[in-house]
Structure 1
Amino acid sequence: MQKLVMVLGCVLLGFATARAQESESPYVPETDPAVVQKLDEWQDWKFGLFMHWGPYSQWGVVESWSICPEDEGWTQRKPAGIPYYEYIKKYEALGNSFNPVKFNPARWAQAAKAAGMQYMVFTTKHHDGYCMFDTKQTDYRITSPQGTFSKDPRANITKEIFEAFRKEGIHTGAYFSKPDWHSEYYWWQYFPPKDRNVNYDVVKYKDRWDKFKQFTYNQIEELMTGYGKVELLWLDGGWVRPLKQQTKESLSWSKTAPQDQDIDMAGIAAMARKHQPGLIVVDRSVHGPYENYRTPEQEIPERPLSYPWETCMTMGGSWSYVPDDKYKPVTQLIHNLVDIVAKGGNYLLNIGPGPDGEWHEAAYTTMEGIGAWMKINGSAIYGTRAIAPYKDGKVCFTRKKDGSVYAIYLLDKGEQLPAVITFKGIIPAKGARLTLLGAREKLSWKKTAGGVAVSIPAALLKQSWEHAVAIKIPAVQP
């Protein structure tokens, strides 16, 4: 009988795995009216700030992943060759020496507002389990008495950041890692970790898994009740999911047989929304009712997507702090923003603060450059939706809810504004008065065999234009 049960178990596991390898589940629209409304508002915000920060910034290493026993390019330890458990001991001690004395979230919030960012997401806890908030569930936290920074009145870093950004009118979001590689309820020290996944049998040791579920629930409830208004719960670690929701991609993240890592998202979402009505929940990569929007990472989709989405991308080369990080040019970042918005998405741009609590100076100057452009052209970005054909050559299109359309011409670095801008797929309504944002002059235009040609007055050609220009079309032909 026991043998039969084992065989049936293998068959069922194989069936679940086969189902998971089928095509990904479609987007599940939200039904809660408050969340639907908040999602619509979120799609108006367009541009946000992401911040990965923790004690690992002292070493300038990738966040969390160097303690993962997988042999991948992003999991390498420094110095190379250091024994695993010796490295873990040193890594986990970083919380004690973490002392960001220059921590000044007000300056970050002011820079974000000046750049035109309308929301932010902060890493309250990454996969390593270190909490940047005053949790009561573990001592592995920024406010632990053993930590150097715990005596600082700003020690509850998440609270300080949320308050500073809300003061500037910026919407706040909490990044939270579902897996916790420090918790004995996820990586039990009785067994060595094999990969990023839970390292024990969650069926055999059900009580331990139940404690992890409660631990996760309790921490998220702390964030939803003690940190003011939170509008986004951005959950990472998509391998923590029910077995029935596994996909070909998520199965590839496990070196052993996949497990049913169900943490009761229904219960978590209900609790979170009880405390924060209308909360957007992003159970990223787990396609289902708790993935209110999807999050392409470090890439821009080739085509518009049929559901709410957000590209999360680094401003530099790394999610977390690197001493000599190189930041993307302002022109590239603005072009990314325009491309994403034209395809109906949002842009969440990441900066990794350093161990002293400051950004690289290049981050501030980059934000200033973006802000100067947004101050003139923001109306072509905020509150817009996609409109076909989305993009034609170097011209991207966005649509306001009142029916007006913007044709945004992407200027290459050093390129002069052309005397004539042409595009096809969008035709202004008869008699429409076209203008260039940042200028008062009326633009003449005409229909051509190839579409539309917009002439730029000579006076405007003499002015200096950078990154992109937006032409406002008050009405277009059906």
Structure 2
Amino acid sequence: MRKLFTTILFFGYLLNSWAQQHNTSTNYIPPTDPKVQAKLANWQDLKFGVFMHWGTYSQWGIVESWSICPEDEGWTQRKGPYAADYTTYKKAYENIRTEFNPVKFSPEKWVTAAKAAGMKYMVFTTKHHDGFAMFDTKQSDYKITDSKSAFATNPRSNITKEVFNAFRKEDFLIGAYFSKPDWHNENYWWPYFPPKDRNVNYNPAKYPERWQKFKDFTYNQIGELMTDYGAVDILWLDGGWVRPKNTIDPAVDWQKAITFEQDIDMARVAKMAREKQPGLIVVDRTVTGEFENYTTPEHTVPDEPLPYPWETCMTMGDSWSFVPNDKYKSTNQLIQLLVKIVSRGGNFLLNIGPSPEGDWAPEAYNRLQQIGDWMKINGEGIYASRSVAPYEHQNIYYTQAKGKSVIYAFWLSDKEDVALPATLQIPLNKINQVKKVSLLGRADKLTWRFKGNSLQIQVPTKLQKKSSLKQAATFKIEY
């Protein structure tokens, strides 16, 4: 029955990972705190990070949290033996913690692979919308360390602390994903009323004391993460429907469905969090204002640079959380995404969903190793780079070294092995002369000439036939 249930759920929930789009906010307000400004500038130079969606839902191999949300959408549909009745299903879902026992959990293995891939920061799901805490919260017993959870007796049961410590030891910036809505909390989904959708199921204005309890609960949980888990650099808040009503954008479909005022007092939360973690970057996703220090276009690469800090978050497979036999993007796809995002001035936060046993799929390790091999050669054009016009030309994408007269032109290959043409034409904007041109990873001398804002490179025959380069070739142009 367990295998049958997992198979049914897998086919029911093998999602198009575009299902939950998060529109980019407008009217960006830059932070004024010098410590936040400094940390944000440092974060922008890192360019590449790892994201992890992990919770009890991984045990069933289903979409994270959304199957308990009573909305008629593709990513919320219930499947399996409990699906016919919502109450039965939710009870079974909340009982997954008695099965979820990730005995292969070893965050040191993850950080080794992520570091080898050239990743520099991480964001981990401390709590998703279902309300299950992957940390030892004192505000709820619905958590990984509670006696009802199968993993509670493991000496590493406080998973968030273990993950943060492992990545921090290797100098990663530490990001705490935290869901503002909590579908387990009685003061968000009050048991007196059935939930109707993702939003609070009562009117907070009519029951202000109940809503205040939820605000305090949220404040206290975030306070725990900011107090007991070492240095935290990013507070990455999801669930943008929990927001002041005056911030709703009526042009966005999912925001139209927000009926009630759901203000959790971000000023209070941010003030407390930054007192405990000076310089903390706060990312209140999709909620325009002073608490969205960078924006997070999801599964999207902007056509042009954005005029504020931003990060594309995207899955390595098709799903955010673990599903059996997920289809992983090729190394070529992932490197091209990285180049395109960085050419627009953004960061790339790449998600990997750990398995119920507590490990990543072999494909994930393989992709990270190959990305790392490429980054060892080409990373100088990625880190601490800035966007530079013309941004792209055909299959060529540009970056500029921060504070230097150096442009990197990435020639993207449509195959894993790079096969360069005999002649390359690279347009350049507002450059009077070129002093040197080289190909990263190769010592071959290139023949080139610069004329009329265009660089023409003659590629040696041996480089055309066998360059030994993979995925993308990077030309370093010094001027």
TM-score over 0.5 for the alignment? yes
8 Å contact from structure 1 (residues 58, 355) kept in 2: yes
| Structure 1 residue 253: Cα displacement | 4.5
Q: Please name the residue that 1:235 is paired with.
A: 237
Q: Please name the residue that 2:48 is paired with.
A: 47
User: Which amino acid in the other structure matches residue 222 of structure 1?
Assistant: E
| Structure 1 residue 431: Cα displacement | 5.1
Q: Please name the residue that 2:13 is paired with.
A: none
After superposition, give the CA deviation of every residue in 1:147-200 in whole Å (9 maximum; x if it has no partner): 111010000000000111111221110000000000001000000001100001
Distance 1:452 1:24 in 2: 38
8 Å contact from structure 1 (residues 238, 250) kept in 2: no
Q: Please name the residue that 2:18 is paired with.
A: none
User: Which amino acid in the other structure matches residue 464 of structure 1?
Assistant: S
1:455 aligns with 2:458: yes
Q: 1:166 aligns with which of 168, 191, 194?
A: 168
Q: Please name the residue that 1:277 is paired with.
A: 278
| Structure 1 residue 259: Cα displacement | 1.2
Q: Please name the residue that 1:147 is paired with.
A: 149
Residue 252 of structure 1: SS of its match in structure 2? helix
Q: Please name the residue that 2:115 is paired with.
A: 113
Q: TM-score, normalised by structure 1?
A: 0.92
After superposition, give the CA deviation of every residue in 1:424-445 in whole Å (9 maximum; x if it has no partner): 1347653511111112233222
8 Å contact from structure 2 (residues 25, 295) kept in 1: no
8 Å contact from structure 1 (residues 106, 164) kept in 2: yes
Q: Please name the residue that 1:437 is paired with.
A: 440
1:470 aligns with 2:474: yes
1:212 aligns with 2:214: yes
Assess, with a 3 A threshold, how the Cα gap between structure 1 residues 95 and 249 changes in structure 2: closer, same or farther: farther
Q: Please name the residue that 1:10 is paired with.
A: none
Q: Please name the residue that 1:20 is paired with.
A: none
Deviates more, 1:394-403 or 1:444-453: 444-453
Q: Please name the residue that 1:73 is paired with.
A: 74
8 Å contact from structure 2 (residues 64, 320) kept in 1: yes
User: Which amino acid in the other structure matches residue 275 of structure 1?
Assistant: K
| Structure 1 residue 264: Cα displacement | 0.5
Distance 1:132 1:400 in 2: 39
Q: Specify every segment of 5 or more residues in structure 1 that has no aligned partner in the other structure, as ranges.
A: 1-22
Q: 2:183 aligns with which of 164, 181, 184?
A: 181
Residue 407 of structure 1: SS of its match in structure 2? strand
Distance 2:33 2:79 in 1: 47
Deviates more, 1:409-418 or 1:269-278: 409-418
User: Which amino acid in the other structure matches residue 463 of structure 1?
Assistant: S
Residue 298 of structure 1: SS of its match in structure 2? coil
Residue 122 of structure 1: SS of its match in structure 2? strand
Q: Please name the residue that 2:10 is paired with.
A: none
Distance 2:434 2:55 in 1: 57
Q: 2:97 aligns with which of 87, 95, 107?
A: 95
Residue 307 of structure 2: SS of its match in structure 1? coil
Residue 174 of structure 1: SS of its match in structure 2? strand
Number of equivalences: 452
1:370 aligns with 2:374: no
User: Which amino acid in the other structure matches residue 361 of structure 1?
Assistant: P
| Structure 1 residue 82: Cα displacement | 2.0
| Structure 1 residue 76: Cα displacement | 0.8
Distance 1:149 1:367 in 2: 28
Assess, with a 3 A threshold, how the Cα gap between structure 1 residues 428 and 468 changes in structure 2: closer, same or farther: farther
Residue 152 of structure 1: SS of its match in structure 2? coil
| Structure 1 residue 419: Cα displacement | 2.3
1:383 aligns with 2:384: yes
Q: TM-score, normalised by structure 2?
A: 0.92
Q: How does 1:192-341 map to 2 (within 5 A)?
A: 192-249=194-251, 252-253=254-255, 255=257, 258-341=259-342
Distance 1:423 1:147 in 2: 58
| Structure 1 residue 454: Cα displacement | 1.4
Residue 453 of structure 1: SS of its match in structure 2? strand
8 Å contact from structure 1 (residues 129, 180) kept in 2: yes
After superposition, give the CA deviation of every residue in 1:16-46 in whole Å (9 maximum; x if it has no partner): xxxxxxx964111111111111111111000
Distance 1:344 1:397 in 2: 10
User: Which amino acid in the other structure matches residue 160 of structure 1?
Assistant: E
Distance 2:304 2:391 in 1: 9
Distance 2:224 2:143 in 1: 13
Residue 161 of structure 1: SS of its match in structure 2? helix
Distance 2:251 2:122 in 1: 28
After superposition, give the CA deviation of every residue in 1:115-174 in whole Å (9 maximum; x if it has no partner): 000000000000000000000000000000111110100000000001111112211100
Q: Please name the residue that 1:7 is paired with.
A: none
8 Å contact from structure 2 (residues 244, 261) kept in 1: yes
Q: How does 1:353-432 map to 2 (within 5 A)?
A: 353-401=354-402, 402-413=404-415, 414-426=417-429, 429-430=432-433, 432=435
